[in-house]
Chain A
Amino acid sequence: MKRAIFVITIIIITITFGIIELHSVSNVLTQMEKHVDALTTEYQANEDNITPLVSDVDDFKDFWEHNENWLCYIFNHRDLSTITDSINRLKANTQNNDYDSAYSELALLKEYSTKSHHIMGFNIHNIL
């Protein structure tokens, strides 16, 4: 009986954590997508001089780093660091007023935020 209670407790805890994790990851990715969309609009509006947008990139970076910390408890660090690297490149390109490179980096981040729903989510492709 004790063992049955132990097993049922494990199942309940796993399901609870699974639901919380799915919900939280989806939330982070949706917010990230919104951030990237907002940045893209700003970059398009300031095509001639994007350097002042560094503070916005910093805000985005803070947002990501805050979430990356707990995502590291679940996902592979190396997979997450590709997004961090991309944000760092975006910041450097913005400081250098390199619109084209910064814009392509934003496109990459948009791709990460949309595709990660599939990669980090619960679906048959990930299972198999």
Chain B
Amino acid sequence: MIFTLVCRSIILYILILFLIRIMGKRQLGEMQPFELVITLVIADLATIPMAETALPLIQGIIPLLTLVCIHYFICFLSRKSTFFRKFLNGKPIILLDPEGISYDNLKRVNMNFNDLLEGLHTAGYFNLEELLYVILQTNGTMTVINRAPYAPLTADDLKIKKEQATLPMIIITKGKIITENLKVAGIDEKFILKYIKQVGFNSIKDILILTLSNTGKIYVQPRHGKFKVINTNYAGGNW
């Protein structure tokens, strides 16, 4: 029975993967075909022994474990082999190029004009003449490149120097100091206490969250009350 279950799981997994691949990319929605298959099948497999008490649990467990193993090997192979990755996930398809909509490619991915327009509207694009390329990625999402006159301006276009944004470091959560982050930021508890006392907090225990940005800004929120932003003389760290 165990080997039978293993073989059946492998056959059904490959079959569903194949069916999803030939259905086209529109069904995927931000997952690769093999990820979608495992999501669909695992959810269903888990419920069968749950609801049917006459079935031993092992009849649900063995297929689940088999799928985990197949999934691992498929991920491994798609990491190692470009050919296998293309075979498994397909390749990105250009739906719109500088000459206009590619009707043949739309047919290839089982889409119609409405699907294309709907996807573009969802992404915030309403005028086709503004677009240079629309690419349908292997996970079913659309990537858009604007024609130059319609591309958003960047700081570089305007020759403006911008400071690099960094991820704020969480220093205190629920009244506890995260010592590793304190070390990475290169500060100590006294530094924090000095600034939070300035805005009326006497104890670290009262603080719900405190973050420090690389530009020296402290965001602090007490457990009960409004947040405050403090500018410090922090010189910036290497994170």
Q: Which residues of A are interface residues toward B (Cβ below 8 A)?
A: 3-4, 7, 10-11, 14, 17-18, 21-22, 25, 72-78, 120, 122, 126-127
B56 touches A75 (CB 8 A): yes
Chain B residues in 8 Å Cβ range of A73: 56, 58
What are 23 A-B contacts with C-beta separation under 8 Å? Answer: A3-B72, A7-B68, A7-B69, A7-B73, A10-B65, A11-B69, A14-B2, A14-B65, A17-B2, A18-B3, A21-B2, A22-B2, A72-B56, A74-B56, A76-B54, A76-B55, A77-B54, A77-B55, A120-B1, A122-B1, A126-B4, A127-B8, A127-B11
State the 6 A-B residue pairs at the shortest beta-carbon distance, nearest first: A18-B2, A122-B3, A77-B54, A127-B7, A7-B72, A126-B4
B62 within 8 A of A: yes
Q: Is the CB of B72 within 8 A of A14?
A: no
Q: Is the CB of B4 within 8 A of A127?
A: yes
Query: Does B66 reach chain A (CB closer than 8 Å)?
Result: yes
Name the contact of B1 in the complex, choosing from A11, A21, A77 (C-beta under 8 A).
A21
Chain B residues positioned under 8 Å from A76 (CB to CB):
54-56, 59
Kindly count the residue-residue contacts between A and B in the assembled complex, taking CB atoms under 8 Å apart: 51
Asked whether any CB of chain A lies closer than 8 Å to the CB of B6, the reply is yes
B3 touches A22 (CB 8 A): yes
Residues in chain B within 8 A of chain A (CB atoms):
1-4, 6-8, 11, 54-56, 58-59, 62, 65-66, 68-69, 72-73
- Distance (whole angstroms) from the CB of A103 to the closest CB of chain B: 30
A127 to B72, CA, bound (A): 23
Residues of the A chain whose Cβ atoms lie less than 8 Å from the Cβ of B65:
10, 14
Contacts of A120 in B (CB 8 A): 1
Query: Within the assembled complex, what's the spacing in Å between the Cα atoms of A4 and B8?
Result: 23
* Least CB distance, B66 to chain A, in whole angstroms: 7
Contacts of B2 in A (CB 8 A): 14, 17-18, 21-22, 74
- Which residue in B7, B11, B68 is a CB contact (below 8 Å) of A10? B68
Q: What is the distance, in angstroms, from A63's C-beta to the closest C-beta of chain B?
A: 21
Give the docked Cα–Cα distance between A22 and B66 (Å). 18
* Chain A nearest Cβ from B11, distance in angstroms: 7
Contacting A78 at CB < 8 Å: which of B1, B8, B54, B66?
B54
CB closest chain-A residue, reference B65: A10
Residues of A within 8 A of B72 (CB): 3-4, 7
- The distance in angstroms between the C-alpha atoms of A105 and B65, with both chains bound, is 40
Cα A105 to Cα B62 with chains together (Å): 35
* Separation of A78 and B54 alpha carbons in the complex (Å): 6
**Does B1 contact A75, Cβ atoms closer than 8 Å?**
yes
CB nearest neighbor in A for B70: A7
The reply to whether B58 and A18 contact each other, CB–CB distance below 8 Å, is no
Seed contacts A7-B72, A76-B54; 16 additional CB < 8 Å A-B pairs? A3-B72, A4-B72, A10-B65, A11-B69, A17-B2, A18-B2, A18-B6, A21-B1, A73-B56, A74-B1, A74-B58, A74-B59, A76-B59, A122-B4, A127-B7, A127-B8
Q: Closest Cβ of chain B: how far from A3's Cβ, in Å?
A: 6
Q: B13: shortest Cβ distance to chain A, in Å?
A: 14
What B residues does A72 contact at CB under 8 A?
Answer: 56
Q: How far is the CB of B229 from chain A (nearest CB, A)?
A: 42
